[in-house]
Amino acid sequence: MPSVRPLVELHGADPDLVGVLSELFAAYRSGRPAPTHLVDLDRDLWAHLEELGLSRLTGSPERGGSGGTWADAAALLGIAAGAAAPVPLVEHDVLGGWLLEAAGLPDDGGLRTVCRPDPSGVALNVTWAREATHVVALWEDRDEWRVADVPLDHVALTERRNIAGEPSDTVEFDVDELEAGVVVSRAVGEQFHLRGALARSAQNVGAMERIVEIVLRHVAERTQFGRPIGRFQAVQHLVSDIASETALGRAATDAAVARASATNWTDPGMLFAVGVAKSCVGHGSSVVVRGAHQVLGAIGTTLEHELHTLTKPILARRSEYGSLHEWDETLTSLAVSAGHDRLWSLMTTGRAKPSSAQFPTRGGV
């Protein structure tokens, strides 16, 4: 059976870290209780991740983090998602912790989630909000971006859940408290959306790779008419589609992660790279989810089976940090703006200009 490990190593993650993560989440997957309709934070797993320094993997050592790269973070996100681990790694570390560091705000411990409230101070679909101690808000105040680290007891919270059964709450802030937040550069505000989109792509492609393993095992073990169902051409076509879309999503995600790691998000081609990843993974996830449930049939829809713990979060994450339609429109606009004479440069470098040109560090094409 294919494993996750050699795939995530392609984009530069520490091999030793990948080995530890693979063993950790394989043990978690084999020992977790049977899934239910509702998904809540696994506090024991979260405490273990904190002990190992994985809950703030990308944080700077000066602030108690582990100093991991974006490639390391993508490996952690993908492997954890492949184990359907209910922990807020994106919210607490990749986005929330990063915003605190960018704003120079103290991190006094606790669990954080993150959101972008609207001008009235309301944020919808805030994942893991009820489980957090603080909500890190990125707030656009006229021509300025502000970051506020707000204790949970300072907000009004309406509990809701997403399609995967995960906490996805509505949070209402006091606007005066948001306006008192720390001003950050516009680059921080622009990068937030890209970071969130790439993090969700890394999670989804990790879950898709686990689905490939489940599908391959099932078609080899399940028999019909005296032979494994993997011998039937119709099933082979489904498996081929699942595997190829997953491989494409992995390649696109790896390319964006490599660029983010190499340039610390200063490469002006990041918008295109993240857009390609989000588009490839988003379109591929539809094929993977549909095909996997077709291959496994009724057994894949039972509550006890692992498959739905992967497919439902994939569908929930697919529309976060920009819908698939929005990212496709962004890519289309970039391609049209590049024109036929600069399209190849856009595809190969993420920029619609000669590679020798000087680019601003704030992003954009």
pLDDT at residue 223 greater than cutoff 80: yes
Which one-letter amino acid corresponds to residue 325? H
Residue-level pLDDT at 143: 86
Residue with structure tokens 């359907």? Answer: 84
Half-sphere exposure at residue 186, Cβ-oriented, CA atoms within 13 angstroms? 8
pLDDT at residue 328 greater than cutoff 50: yes
Number of CB atoms found within 10 A of residue 363's CB: 18
The DSSP 8-state label assigned to residue 59 in this structure reads: S
Contact of 296 with 215, CB cutoff 8 Å: yes
Question: DSSP 3-state assignment of 169?
Answer: strand
Q: Residue 227 pairs with which residues in a beta bridge?
A: 224
Residue-level pLDDT at 11: 56
| Helix (H) or strand (E) segment spanning residue 220 | helix 186-221
Residue-level pLDDT at 353: 61
pLDDT at residue 364 greater than cutoff 70: no
Task: Please give the structure tokens belonging to residue 234.
Answer: 């119709």
Domains present along the chain, CATH in parentheses? 5-184 (1.10.540.10), 187-349 (1.20.140.10)
Please give the average per-residue pLDDT across 331-350, as a whole number.
90
Task: Please give the structure tokens belonging to residue 299.
Answer: 């057994």
User: Which among 8, 32, 22 has a CA at the least distance from the CA of 304?
Assistant: 32
Question: DSSP 3-state assignment of 182?
Answer: strand
Per residue in 146-156, pLDDT (tens digit) is: 999 999 999 99
E-assigned strand segments in 173-259: 182-184, 223-224, 227-228
Q: What are phi and psi of 14, to 5 degrees?
A: -60, 120
Please give the average per-residue pLDDT across 41-45, as a whole number.
97
Residue-level pLDDT at 141: 87
Please give the average per-residue pLDDT across 271-294, as a whole number.
97
Q: 257 Cβ partners below 8 Å, 6+ apart?
A: 11, 12, 70, 71, 74, 198, 202
- Counting every residue, how long is the chain? 365
Task: Please give the structure tokens belonging to residue 189.
Answer: 């505000």
Residue-level pLDDT at 361: 36
User: Which among 60, 61, 53 has a CA at the least distance from the CA of 21?
Assistant: 53
Residue with structure tokens 């050592």? Answer: 61
Contact of 80 with 313, CB cutoff 8 Å: no
Residue-level pLDDT at 90: 98
Per residue in 285-306, pLDDT (tens digit) is: 999 999 999 999 989 889 999 9
Please give the average per-residue pLDDT across 231-241, as a whole number.
96
The DSSP 8-state label assigned to residue 317 in this structure reads: H
Q: 221 Cβ partners below 8 Å, 6+ apart?
A: 228
Please give the average per-residue pLDDT across 98-108, as a whole number.
95
pLDDT at residue 170 greater than cutoff 80: yes
pLDDT at residue 225 greater than cutoff 50: yes
User: Which among 262, 345, 38, 328 has a CA at the least distance from the CA of 168?
Assistant: 38
Per residue in 118-130, pLDDT (tens digit) is: 999 999 999 999 9
| Cβ-based burial of 143 (10 A; exposed 0-12, middle 13-18, buried ≥19) | exposed
**Whole-number Cα distances in Å, 330 to 167, 245, 249:** 29, 21, 18
Residue-level pLDDT at 14: 87
Q: What is the residue-averaged pLDDT of the chain?
A: 91
